[in-house]
A and B are shown apart, each in its own frame.
Chain A
């Protein structure tokens, strides 16, 4: 894309002979993602046999992990771990945004909150898909990344609440109407299904499997990306960093080989499990 290269701002002062790496995610954020995807895989793998309990693989799978009691146990265990991770994240946002009044949490280019530029980027991106316009320049978080984030955020509240309402139904019955006890299963299973289908098809492809990043984007595992990737994927953020002179504060170390290899194995396993579950889900859904 020659137009893209031309629009890239002046390069940072050269002199470093090696390729430079920039930090995108903190250690805490990477761990959060790891906990999120492992528990999500666990929840999906134990939730799907319940949702499609009539399908040919559900019983085999349930028997494989030790019968139905075991499936429900692991489902609840993963749910608890994920709930704790979610609460830690919310507390972190609260502390940084409200207590410490850190800038860029709730608005601005580094915020996860959507803005007008995201709407413009979405339509611009669609135009670019069809060859009707230039490729939009993305900031720190692109609109689909924000959607992923809020889908998970909303999903956790909805699935979590409906899940706990079923787990502790007699308690929730104190303040929920009778029909709500019926509704929570519908909500839980449909929202769960949406999350599974979305993550295992859309998120996997958008973030990991598309030609730009194939087979997976390592940045969420290693926390760093090369200068070339940074400039290419998030030109506006790079430009902003350079302009404000803060780009050097983001310089990180290239990830050690063991971490890259380890992440490749873990990531591949996660993607394979996810795609397997996707196939099983679709086969059960359409049979």
Chain B
């Protein structure tokens, strides 16, 4: 509201200043020439203006020289100064100057707000920065082969537009669905490496929490949220699992397939023992989403240490947690160790010896019979060749 207020004040200020200017010219004077849509300047740029559309725009009440201030008489010089939006929109211009878009070669304002003579308030559906139009506007550059590609930035538009956010926005027209500027801001967009940026790792939970308040609360009270708050940046934030733009549905197998190794990036030993289990063996084949992944047992956002009585993997809660999938799970059933290590004699002695016995059985049986069979083959082939040489039968 504060920003909107300052915009109104600035606009009013401009109106008063230019309305009082002694050489103010009516739009009609300029449009006498410039209403010709084919009119071009010396460089070949179109200088035609659609008077009607301009009148309907947010700046429609302003005279031409409110912006083209250096034109005070007719005929005007061939070369005119570029329009400075900051004359009125000083706050936004200042913010833009510190942002990643500061060095844009094109006119920084019209790149996003569109045709200078047809700018509408952002609440107007005709505006290029109306929520439903924002992705398309940003996508002009942040898409395949766009300006972003030339700067080595990922093509985020296709990922976003196919995400649940993009879907809600483009298909359902949900104004509350997150668009680019919901997370990145508008004029003061900073690199995610800048600690002041809303997309800086430590700030992401708060950024997503603007809408996802309950999950943010859960997360902040979990081990990962506390770690991030304590400056331990290795802990995951929202985007580490959900990604920033593609945001896969957590119930979809694609998400379930890709996210277990993400936990494994830090929890290496747990991931390794998990991979020995049936849960993982089933799960890593894809198309079958029902096996337990990390968060099915440990929780996704409100992750707590095992010792915490609220943790789903606390001993007291195991029957309930395992029972989510295994109907009939009882106290004996939950003694199953989802992270047992058959290679660790101290930790899992029974399992260690079972594995040892099975491996010895496998190795001894196969070794013996391999030698047995190879010797047999050699002997039979030898006899066969000898018999043949003697003109005998095929069989030995």
Contact = CB atoms under 8 A, between A and B. Distances in A.
Given A169-B326, A205-B377, A198 B369 contact: yes
B40 interface: no
A178 B335 CA distance: 4
B286 interface: yes
B377 A72 contact: no
B396 A198 contact: no
Interface stretch (B111-119, B196-204, B274-282): B274-282
B377 A210 contact: yes
B328 A62 contact: no
Most buried by B among A126, A185, A191, A210: A185
A177 B348 CA distance: 13
B20 interface: no
A83 interface: no
B379 A129 contact: yes
Interface string A131-159: 10000000000001000000100000000
Interface in B267-307: 275, 277-278, 280-288, 290
Interface in B84-130: none
A182 B348 contact: yes
B362 A1 contact: no
Contacts of B354: 183, 186-187
B373 A206 contact: yes
Instruction: Give the interface SS of chain A, mostly helix, strand, loop or mixed.
Output: helix
Interface stretch (B135-143, B146-154, B156-164, B380-388): B380-388
Contact of A179 (B280, B329, B337, B361): B337
B358 A179 contact: no
Contact of A212 (B275, B287, B290, B396): B396
A130 B377 CA distance: 11
Nearest to B342: A186
B395 interface: yes
A68 B335 contact: no
Contacts of A182: 336-337, 340, 342, 348, 351
Interface in B349-376: 350-351, 354-355, 358-359, 361-362, 365-366, 369-370, 372-373, 375-376
B285 A49 contact: yes
B13 interface: no
B350 A185 contact: no
Interface in A174-226: 174, 176-183, 185-187, 190-191, 193-194, 197-198, 201-202, 205-206, 210-212
Contacts of B286: 59, 62-63, 67-68
Contacts of A185: 277-278
Given A49-B285, A72-B282, A183-B351, A174 B336 contact: no
A47 to B, nearest CB: 10
B333 A173 contact: yes
Nearest to B253: A67
B396 A1 contact: yes
30 contacts: A50-B285, A53-B285, A59-B284, A59-B286, A62-B285, A68-B288, A71-B288, A129-B372, A129-B378, A129-B379, A169-B333, A170-B327, A171-B328, A173-B329, A174-B332, A177-B335, A178-B332, A179-B351, A182-B340, A183-B351, A186-B351, A193-B362, A194-B361, A198-B369, A202-B366, A202-B372, A206-B376, A211-B380, A212-B380, A212-B395
Given A50-B281, A193-B362, 10 more contacts: A54-B284, A67-B287, A69-B287, A69-B290, A144-B372, A170-B330, A186-B342, A187-B354, A194-B358, A206-B373
Interface of A: 1, 49-51, 53-54, 58-59, 62-63, 66-69, 71-72, 125-126, 128-131, 144, 151, 166, 169-171, 173-174, 176-183, 185-187, 190-191, 193-194, 197-198, 201-202, 205-206, 210-212, 228, 232
Q: Which 3 A-B pairs have the closest CB atoms?
A: A178-B335, A67-B287, A68-B288
